[in-house]
């Protein structure tokens, strides 16, 4: 069966051949009969192929009862990762779950070590993000490291890797800790200005929305790190950069519908729809791109006029790229957009979910506060990477949050050539859903308590009886946690994100005790690019004296 140039050949005859026969041999009535026969035959063969040959050739089980529907069990967590987790628990498989929707469109979900290894490491460049999803996300992120593919990705990765070596990451702790302290001071001001209703004023309990503060903190960290620009959004609640990202990424039902539309239809079509969000995205991304363009131009001028030394330029990612790679200004702007968005929204989301879990486990919150205060005398004290990386419970809490609430719960790949996954042939054009939310909780890796918040799984006891952090959480493979993916397409800033999260959590928990403003509030996960609580993370906080 061949498709192309309006030829549809079945049983040795195509519609073009039928037309030529009509012109030379058959009468009109015979020709139309032949056309209908050819069309019907094509449809029957296509249906047979889609419904039987394709799915059963792969020999992967499909969940027939609810392949594209909602099950009762998933209704309380309506997001991308809930159903795949249910399927991984209930459907026998040998590395791939074959998912078919009501029109027999096929998707594959990898479920074991070998399948994940093949997709993310062995055959990484056999898979790419679907073009329509990339084109839309590029409006926000630019065609930087996250959205580039093939040779372009290899070039960008090679140029950026030096900026993210462990030595450079550890040198950034001073900046991260300083910004965390600035955040704590500004949070205290808001708490005093917004006392919690129904509490004794002497208790000093105030209220704030943690997601906003997390975003402002991480933006003020990534600005100097990525491009040498301090946005000072912590001191300015009306900061235009922070507002732009908030308007684009704040989770709403309208944004979810808008996102789905852009993933289904090409950009030339969706950008012409008279939808308010098209204007919002155009205006905000236009501002952010203009800002990045000005910063790139200023740094380029400094380099060309020799006013900046190599050491000065290497102080941030933009300078490193200018010195270490052959990038046009447009490519540099795309990279800055990528790092601004991904470099601050991901950690801000993780900090938000950390605070949420610590409200649900107040005993862990208290033990963590005790550990922080025991090893760090005050928030103003100078710290090194060793001070935070050595704290077992701090690292256990951060690792467990990243495991349970990956900032990107699911991502899609498409095979660009015939390839192999878990011993099975995967034809070109096959879509796969890589689901960190489900993998990170799957019983095959984490046992029956994989969905429970247990920071102790990341803590070992050394030969002297001391508690020390571990990096495996008790799982038998590092593919049991794919929050940052693995292999050549893994998150280049994963160590940076972990360091940033350690600093932020240590500061917030060391300084404040907190709980939900409304303990009965139900939290739902959503997000346009990263996962956030739809209702916001509204906390009642009190400064704990002595630190």
Rounded distance, CA 137 to CA 433, Å? 17
Q: Which of 208, 71, 153 is nearest to 540 (CA)?
A: 208
Q: How far apart are the first and last CA of the chain?
A: 73
The encoded tokens of residue 344 equal 């601050």
Annotated binding site for heme: 491
Known binding residues are 491
| Sequence-separated (6 or more) residues with CB below 8 Å from residue 438 | 81, 84, 85, 88, 109, 410
Distance in angstroms (rounded) separating the CA atoms of residues 214 and 210: 6
Buried b (16+ CB within 10 A) or exposed e, 226-249: bbbbebebbeeeebebbebbbebb
Question: pLDDT at position 180, please?
Answer: 97
How far apart CA 145 and CA 148 sit, in angstroms, is: 5
| Average pLDDT by stretches of 10, the chain with 547 residues | 35 35 42 54 55 48 37 38 88 89 74 97 96 89 90 91 89 95 96 88 88 94 92 89 83 81 88 92 93 91 70 74 82 91 88 97 98 95 94 98 92 95 93 94 96 97 94 95 95 95 98 96 76 90 94
Nearest C-alpha neighbor of 527 from the set 181, 315, 255: 255
Whether this prediction's pTM lies above 0.95 is answered by no
> 347 near 172, Cβ under 8 Å?
no
pLDDT at 157: 92
* Alpha-carbon distance values, 350 to 121, 197, 525 (Å): 25, 28, 12
Strands (E), 438-536: 459-461, 467-469, 512-516, 525-526, 532-533
- 455 secondary structure, DSSP code: G
Is the distance from CB of 512 to CB of 547 less than 8 angstroms?
A: no
Of 190, 187, 173, 262, give the one whose Cα is nearest residue 217.
187
Q: What is the pLDDT of residue 74?
A: 33
Contact (CB, 8 A) for 275 and 258: yes
Other beta carbons within 10 angstroms of residue 517's beta carbon come to 19
pLDDT reported for residue 58 = 46
pLDDT at 507: 98
The pLDDT assigned to 362 comes to 97
Radius of gyration of the chain (CA): 26
Strand partners, 106: 100
């Amino acid at each position: 069966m061949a498709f192309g140039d309006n030829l549809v050949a079945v049983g040795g005859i195509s519609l073009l051949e039928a037309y030529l026969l009509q012109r030379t041999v058959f009468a009109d009535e015979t020709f139309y009969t032949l056309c209908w026969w050819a069309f019907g035959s094509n449809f029957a063969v296509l249906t047979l192929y889609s419904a039987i040959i394709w799915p059963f050739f792969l020999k992967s089980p499909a969940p027939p009862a609810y392949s594209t529907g909602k099950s009762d069990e998933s209704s309380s967590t309506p997001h991308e990762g809930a159903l795949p987790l249910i399927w991984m628990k209930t459907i026998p498989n040998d590395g791939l779950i074959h998912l078919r929707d009501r029109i027999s469109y096929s998707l594959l979900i990898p479920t074991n070590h070998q399948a994940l290894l093949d997709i993310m490491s062995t055959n990484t460049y056999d898979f790419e993000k679907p073009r329509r999803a990339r084109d839309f996300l590029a409006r926000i992120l630019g065609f930087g490291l996250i959205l580039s593919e093939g040779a372009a990705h290899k070039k960008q990765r090679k140029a950026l890797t030096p900026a993210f070596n462990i030595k450079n990451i550890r040198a950034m702790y001073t900046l991260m800790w300083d910004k965390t302290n600035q955040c704590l001071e500004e949070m205290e001001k808001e708490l005093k200005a917004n006392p919690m209703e129904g509490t004794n004023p002497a208790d000093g309990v105030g209220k704030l929305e943690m997601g906003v503060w997390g975003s402002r903190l991480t933006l003020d960290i990534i600005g100097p790190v990525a491009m040498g620009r301090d946005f000072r959004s912590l001191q300015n609640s009306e900061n235009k950069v922070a507002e732009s990202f908030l308007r684009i990424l704040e989770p709403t039902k309208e944004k979810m519908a808008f996102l789905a539309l852009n993933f289904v239809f090409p950009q030339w079509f969706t950008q012409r729809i008279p939808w308010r969000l098209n204007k919002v995205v155009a205006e905000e991304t236009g501002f952010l791109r203009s800002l990045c363009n000005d910063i790139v131009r200023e740094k380029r001028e400094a380099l060309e006029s020799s006013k900046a030394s190599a050491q000065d330029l290497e102080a941030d990612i933009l300078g490193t790229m200018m010195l270490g790679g052959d990038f046009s200004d447009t490519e540099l702007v795309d990279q800055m957009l990528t790092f601004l968005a991904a470099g601050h929204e991901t950690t801000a989301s993780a900090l938000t979910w950390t605070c949420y879990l610590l409200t649900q486990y107040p005993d862990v919150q208290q033990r963590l506060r005790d550990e922080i205060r025991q090893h760090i005398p005050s928030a103003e004290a100078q710290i090194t990477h060793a001070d935070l990386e050595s704290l077992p419970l701090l690292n256990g809490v951060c690792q467990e949050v990243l495991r349970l609430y990956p900032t990107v719960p699911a991502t899609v790949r498409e095979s660009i050539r015939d390839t192999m996954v878990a011993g099975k042939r995967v034809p070109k054009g096959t879509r796969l859903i890589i689901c960190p939310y489900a993998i990170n909780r799957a019983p095959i890796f984490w046992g029956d308590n994989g969905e429970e918040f247990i920071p102790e799984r990341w803590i070992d006891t050394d030969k002297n009886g001391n508690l020390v952090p571990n990096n495996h959480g008790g799982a038998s493979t590092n593919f049991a946690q794919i929050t940052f993916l693995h292999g050549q397409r893994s998150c280049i800033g994963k160590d940076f994100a972990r360091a940033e999260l350690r600093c932020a959590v240590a500061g917030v928990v060391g300084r404040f005790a907190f709980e939900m403003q409304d303990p009965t509030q139900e939290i739902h996960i959503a997000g346009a690019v990263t996962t956030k609580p739809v209702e916001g993370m509204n906390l009642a906080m009190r400064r704990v004296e002595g630190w």
